[in-house]
Amino acid sequence: MRVPGRRRSIVFFTTLGVCLVVLTVVLNVGWILLNWRQVALLVFGIIFFIAIIAGLVLNTTFLVREIRRNEQQDSFLNAVTHELKTPLASIRLYLETLQTREVDADKRREFYDVMMADSDRLLHTVEQVLRAGQISHRGRPRNASPIDLAEMVRSCLDLARIRYHLPADAFRFAESFNGEERAVVTGDEEELRAVVLNLIDNAVKYSGEEVRVTVEVATLDAKHVAVRIIDQGVGIASGELKRVFKRFYRVPGQTMQRVKGTGLGLFIVHSIVKKHGGRVFAESAGEGRGSTFTIQLPGARKQ
């Protein structure tokens, strides 16, 4: 398998780097002890050795980071290939059946529904990859307009309910506003919808059998609004809470193998929220104990 091979090379390069640094430090100290009388040489020597040590440390860090990145890109490619191939293969199979056999009207409608869901899945994967490719942290949102967050979240929940065939009580929606304020932000509607949909999708995907998701929209103070997506699913270990926002990153383990994904969703969420001047963070009481994702955005001034 490739992954243990990668692990071995990471261990190898880290050990090599550490050994080289130790060797250089020993040489350095030995050299200082031998030449302590010749002050000028000593000073130049020390500077020279420090530069070598710093170079070695940098080099090793860079190597290990590159190996990690390669590893993530590999698993991303595998995931994307799978996400593209599976729905396509399924659509083809249904089309072949429709072409070669007589299918009654009910069955045909069922086939169309499955093909529709598969093509939605394909479209979603392609959109995620395109969006991740276009993303830049810099610059302001291109098509900024005032958006009522509660309204947007409600429509995203309706969409997710249909997409995942969930019962009405799978989602709970709550809003809390300071005084008369609505939670209004100025931003790119399509991008902010993608943010909310990605977080709801994840909450459903990582919930396991029983989906119980609460989404809250709140005005925090005069200047900030928040959306909180709370699930009761597989949870996230504390060491992973920040890493999940990295590009291609998926928490290793059984869930990753069972639940398909590309590791792009949260990277997209993080980039869009940052572009809108906000922040996003994850909280979890630990594995198996649910997760909460919070987006905080600057509120729009009253119109």
Binding site for ligand ADP (CB under 6 A): 202-203, 206, 231, 233-236, 244, 249-251, 256, 261-267, 291
> Please, which residue, 219 or 296, has the CB nearer to ligand ADP?
296
Output the smallest distance, CB 296 to ligand ADP, in A: 18
Output the smallest distance, CB 264 to ligand ADP, in A: 6
Phi and psi at 31, nearest 5°, equal -65, -40
Distance CA 12, CA 15 (A): 5
> Please, which residue, 271 or 291, has the CB nearer to ligand ADP?
291
Output the smallest distance, CB 243 to ligand ADP, in A: 8
End-to-end CA, the chain:
59
Phi and psi at 227, nearest 5°, equal -125, 130
* 3-state secondary structure (DSSP) of residue 148: strand
Tokens of residue 298, six digits = 């600057």
Output the smallest distance, CB 161 to ligand ADP, in A: 17
How distant is the alpha carbon of residue 287 from its chain centre?
17
Output the smallest distance, CB 204 to ligand ADP, in A: 9
Distance CA 174, CA 235 (A): 21
> Please, which residue, 131 or 250, has the CB nearer to ligand ADP?
250
Under a CB-based contact definition with an 8 Å cutoff, are residues 223 and 299 in contact?
yes
Q: Which residue is nearest to ligand ADP (CB)?
A: 261
How distant is the alpha carbon of residue 22 from its chain centre?
37
> Please, which residue, 101 or 137, has the CB nearer to ligand ADP?
137
> Please, which residue, 21 or 135, has the CB nearer to ligand ADP?
135
